[in-house]
Structure 1
Amino acid sequence: MGTHVWEKPFEAYAQKLIDEVQVPGAIVAVAKDGELIYEKSFGYRDREEQAPIDLDTVFGIGSITKSYTCVAIMQLQEAGKLSIHDPVVKYLPEFRTPDESHTKAITIQHFMTHTLGLPPLSSLFPGMLESMKDDPAAEELLALPELQGLEPIHTYEQLMDYIAKQPIELLGAPGSEFSYSNDAYALLGAIIERASGQPYEDYVKEHILEPLGLTRSVFHIEELGDDLNHSMLYSAVTKDGVKEVLRTPIWWDAPAMRAAGFLKASARDMLRYADVYRTGGSANGVRILSGASVAEMVTPIVKVDALKGYGYGLGIQPFGENATLIQHTGGIKGVTAHLLIVPEAGITGILLTSISDSPIQALTLGLLNSLLGRPLETPYATVDSYEAPLDVLRQSVGTFKSGEGDQVTVKFDEENERLVLAMGGKELPLRPIGEDAYLFTERNVDTSVRFVRSADGTIIRFALGSRQLPVA
Structure 2
Amino acid sequence: MKRHEWEGVYETYVQNLLDEFQVPGAIVAVAKDGELFYERTFGYRDREDGTPINLDTVFGIGSITKSFTCLAIMQLQEEGKLSVNDPVVKYLPEFRTPDEAHTKAITIHHFMTHTLGLPPLPSLIPAMQRSLEADPTAEELLKQFAEYGNEPIDTFEQLMAYIGELKFELLGPPGTQFSYSNDAFGLLGTIVERVSGQSYESYIQEQILQPLGMDRSVFHVEELGENDNVAMLYTPKVKEGVRQVLRAPVWWDSPSMRAAGFLKASSRDMLRYAELYRTGGSSHGATIISKESVAQMVEPHARIDSVRSYGYGLGIVPFSEGHTLIQHTGGIKGVTAQMFIVPEAGLTGILLTNVDDAPITDLTLGLLNSLFGRPLDTQYAAFAEYEVPLAGLEQYQGTYQSGEGDQVSIRLDEAEGKLVLVMGETELSLRPIGEDAFLFTRRNIDTPVHFVRDPEGVIKRFALFSRQLPKVEAGA
Unaligned runs of 5+ residues in structure 1 are none
Deviation digits for residues 70-93 of structure 1 (CA, Å, limit 9, x no counterpart) = 000000000011000000000000
Instruction: For residue 455 of structure 2, give the secondary structure of its aligned residue in structure 1.
Output: coil
Identity of aligned residues (%): 67
Would you say 1:213 and 2:213 are equivalent positions?
Answer: yes
- CA offset at residue 414 of structure 1? 1.8
**TM superposition shift of 1:102:** 0.5
1:141 and 2:141 equivalent? yes
Give me the whole-angstrom Cα distance separating, in 1, the residues matched to 2:139 and 2:181: 25
State the secondary structure of the residue aligned to 1:110: helix
Mapped partners of 1:137, 1:113: distance in 2? 32
Query: How much has 1:15 moved relative to structure 2?
Result: 0.5
Residue 31 of structure 1 aligns with an amino acid whose one-letter code is A
Conserved 8 A contact 1:142-1:148: no
Residue 402 of structure 1 and its aligned partner are, at CA, apart by 0.4
Q: Which residue of 1 aligns with 2:105?
A: 105
What's the counterpart of residue 57 of structure 1? 57
Distance between the aligned counterparts of 1:308 and 1:406, measured in 2?
21
Contact 1:274–1:341 (CA<8 Å) still a contact in 2? yes
Partner secondary structure for residue 255 of structure 1 = coil
TM superposition shift of 1:227: 4.1
2:387 aligns to what?
387
Instruction: List gaps (5 residues or longer) in structure 2.
Output: none
**Amino acid paired to 1:233:** L
The 5 Å alignment of 1:31-430 reads: 31-144=31-144, 147=147, 149-430=149-430
Give the 3-state SS of the residue equivalent to 1:218 in structure 2. Answer: coil
Q: Distance in 2 between matches of 1:330 and 1:221?
A: 17
Tell me the TM-score normalised to structure 1 length.
Answer: 0.99
Q: Is the 8 A contact 1:125 1:147 kept in 2?
A: no
Distance 1:81 1:322 in 2: 36
Residues paired across the two proteins, number: 472
Q: In 2, distance between residues paired with 1:283 and 1:147?
A: 47
TM-score, length of structure 2 as denominator length: 0.98
Task: State how far apart, in whole Å, the 2-side matches of 1:20 and 1:132 are.
Answer: 28
1:228 is displaced (CA, Å) by 2.6
Deviation string 1:216-251 (CA, Å, 9 cap, x unpaired) is 000001111124301100011111111111100000
Whole-Å separation in 1 of the counterparts to 2:303 and 2:58: 33
Letter in 2 for 1:387: E
Question: What are the equivalent positions in structure 2 for 1:425-444 lying under 5 Å apart?
Answer: 425-444=425-444
The 8 Å contact of residues 390 and 414 in structure 2, kept in 1 or not, is answered as: no
Conserved 8 A contact 1:320-1:381: no
What is the DSSP-based 3-state SS (H/G/I as helix, E as strand, rest coil) of the residue aligned with 2:257?
Answer: helix
Contact kept? 1:409, 1:422, Cα under 8 Å: yes
Distance across 2 between alignment mates of 1:139 and 1:356: 16
CA deviation after TM superposition for structure 1 residue 63, in Å? 0.2
* CA displacement at 1:147 relative to structure 2: 4.5
Residues 309, 145 of structure 1: alpha-carbon distance in 2 compared, 3 angstrom cutoff = closer
Note closer, same or farther for the CA distance 1:145–1:69 as it changes in structure 2 (3 Å cut): closer
Distance in 1, Cα, partners of 2:392 & 2:146: 32
Deviations 1:124-154 (A, max 9, x none): 0000000001211101111115545320000
Q: Secondary structure of 1:72's partner?
A: helix
Deviation track 1:185-208 (CA, whole Å, cap 9, x = no partner) reads 000000000000010000000000
Task: Decide which moves more: 229-238 or 137-146.
Answer: 137-146
